[in-house]
Amino acid sequence: MAHQHSLFGPELRLPSGFRYQSGLISPDEETDLLQRLSGLPFRAFEFHGYVGKRRVISFGWEYDFSREKVRRAEAIPAFLLPLREKAATFAGLASMDLPHVLVTEYTTGATIGWHKDKGVFGDVIGISLGSPCTFRLRRRTGARW
């Protein structure tokens, strides 16, 4: 097995276009968000006839994988707007440049396979709540990953 470098270890070397910041929100803000998120009507994540080991809810816009199109979703709830503002500031964007929020609930031990986010959403900003999130990245070399 090839050696895997730590993304956040002493030799912090992020791929081009990636940025990382710990402590974007306070522990109290995280606790409040988790409590509010727990009451949302999550649904199973469906992808081309398969059900993923996670539950999701989208706001602003959502991607319909069966139709391969973006469609309007319920407005972003007021309690998520301060988090969107912090995410936008972190990314050097205006908050209105982030019109979509996807909240994903992973159960303990759940993973997500190799994928590429839909380009229609532009910048992607991930914020992990409740536990750390490990990103494993791969890059294309010719026709291989």
| Percentage of residues in the chain having pLDDT higher than 90 | 48
- pLDDT for 67 equals 81
Decide if pLDDT at 124 tops 90: no
Spans of all domains in the chain: 27-108+115-121
- pLDDT for 84 equals 97
Q: What is the mean pLDDT of residues 89-99?
A: 95
Q: What is the pTM of this model?
A: 0.82
Decide if pLDDT at 1 tops 70: no
In tens, the pLDDT along 2-57 reads 455 555 555 567 788 888 888 999 999 999 999 999 999 999 988 877 888 889 99
- pLDDT for 118 equals 74
> 3-state SS string over the chain?
CCCCCCCCCCCCCCCCCCCCCCCCCCHHHHHHHHHHHCCCCCEEEEECCEEEEEEEEEECEEEECCCCEEEECCCCCHHHHHHHHHHHHHHCCCHHHCCCEEEEEECCCCCCCCCCCCHHHCCCCCCCCCCCCCCCCCCCECCEC
| Percentage of residues in the chain having pLDDT higher than 70 | 92
